[in-house]
């Protein structure tokens, strides 16, 4: 029986399955455990660690975790974990791909439609008592049907968004590492630019002032990937300056955004709190996958979904 630490209460019954085979402690608070708390647990001999994307696991933490045998990350990616350091220490890192693809694609389209049709503004007008009559010029938005959609990154989620775009009669442009439309051309031609690339050193700050300047002044930027792909200051400037018409974000940099962050003062901005995978079924399925990864590793078997399979030699 191994000692396991789960950094947050998860939906579904996956953690109960883990507890039937191992000694499990779940962090009880809504806010994540501090780095010092995680370091203390690892130093005390935790063998299985189930983390969230809000838990940075760096090389120094891993160096002090002599008993650690596996990390299961409750996320499609692993950018919060120093995977190279984990591999060097012989620790497999699991992720939860595929299961959140369709759910996140749904939210991408919801954000696109919400920004295009100014839904948050319309709701605010009604709630504030500002809706006094039907007015032909009120809250004019942008058509999604028949528009051009530019996808930056066309992995599982990007491809799922493209399938939805077919139903809206959209022209879809794709930019990917292996080819497709050049990024500058995509930015210049698209009515909606939707980000679906992973966060790497190459994509950090990819959508900067120069990229935003390439977009149409009537274009909408949508980000359901990772916040640091977009230069936050440049986005705020572009919105204030009318260089793009709107932005819709599920992810931000920093995350979460403080209530007084300058970006939130920008016009035509729709922001939701990183809920791309937030349905009952998907979040429970993610927990199942994370626990399956951890159970396999603690049995000495390869993880079903491993970010560093080279750890197995």
Active-site choice (274, 280, 283, 301): 274
Active-site choice (255, 280, 299, 310): 255
Q: DSSP letters along 12-60, please?
A: SSHHHHHHHHSEEEE--SSSPPPHHHHHHHHHTT--EEEEETTS-B-HH
| Whether 199 contacts 252, CB under 8 Å | no
Q: What one-character DSSP code corresponds to residue 133?
A: S
Neighbours of 40 (CB within 10 A): 14
Active-site choice (69, 226, 243, 283): 226
d(CA 166, CA 171): 8
Could you tell me the sign of the dihedral formed by the alpha carbons of 160, 166, 167, 171, in that order? positive
d(CA 278, CA 100): 9
280 among known catalytic residues: no
Q: Quick one: how far is CA 299 from the chain centroid?
A: 30
Q: Quick one: how far is CA 230 from the chain centroid?
A: 13
240 among known catalytic residues: no
Q: What share of the chain is helix, strand, coil (3-state, %, to 5)?
A: 35, 15, 45
Could you tell me the sign of the dihedral formed by the alpha carbons of 135, 140, 144, 147, in that order? positive
d(CA 163, CA 154): 11
226 among known catalytic residues: yes
49: tokens are 């660690």
Active site residues: 226, 255, 274
């Amino acid at each position: 029986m191994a000692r396991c630490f789960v950094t947050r209460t998860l939906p579904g019954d996956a953690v109960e399955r883990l507890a039937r085979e191992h000694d499990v402690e779940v962090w009880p608070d809504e806010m994540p455990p501090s780095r010092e708390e995680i370091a203390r647990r690892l130093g005390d001999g935790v063998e299985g660690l189930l983390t969230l994307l809000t838990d940075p696991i760096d090389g120094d933490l891993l160096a002090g975790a002599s008993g650690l045998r596996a990390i299961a990350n409750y996320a499609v990616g692993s950018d919060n974990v120093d995977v190279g350091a984990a591999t060097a220490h012989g620790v497999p890192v699991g992720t939860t791909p595929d299961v959140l693809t369709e759910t996140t694609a749904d939210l991408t389209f919801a954000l696109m439609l919400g920004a295009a049709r100014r839904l948050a503004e319309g709701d605010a007008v009604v709630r504030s008592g500002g809706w006094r009559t039907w007015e032909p010029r009120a809250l004019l938005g942008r058509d999604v049907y028949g528009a051009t959609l530019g996808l930056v990154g066309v992995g599982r989620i990007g491809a799922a968004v493209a399938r939805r775009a077919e139903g809206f009669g959209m022209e879809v442009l794709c930019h990917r590492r292996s080819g497709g439309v050049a990024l500058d051309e995509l930015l210049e031609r698209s009515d909606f630019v939707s980000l679906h690339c992973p966060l790497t050193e190459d994509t950090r700050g990819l959508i900067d002032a120069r990229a935003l300047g390439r977009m149409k002044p009537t274009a909408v930027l949508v980000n359901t990937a990772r916040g640091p792909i977009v230069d936050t200051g440049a986005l705020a400037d572009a919105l204030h300056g009318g260089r793009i018409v709107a932005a819709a974000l599920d992810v931000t940099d920093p995350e979460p955004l403080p209530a007084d962050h300058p970006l939130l003062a920008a016009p035509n901005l729709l922001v939701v709190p990183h809920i791309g995978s937030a349905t009952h079924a998907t979040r429970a399925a993610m927990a199942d996958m994370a626990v399956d990864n951890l159970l396999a590793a603690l049995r000495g078997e390869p993880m079903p979904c491993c970010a560093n399979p080279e750890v197995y030699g």
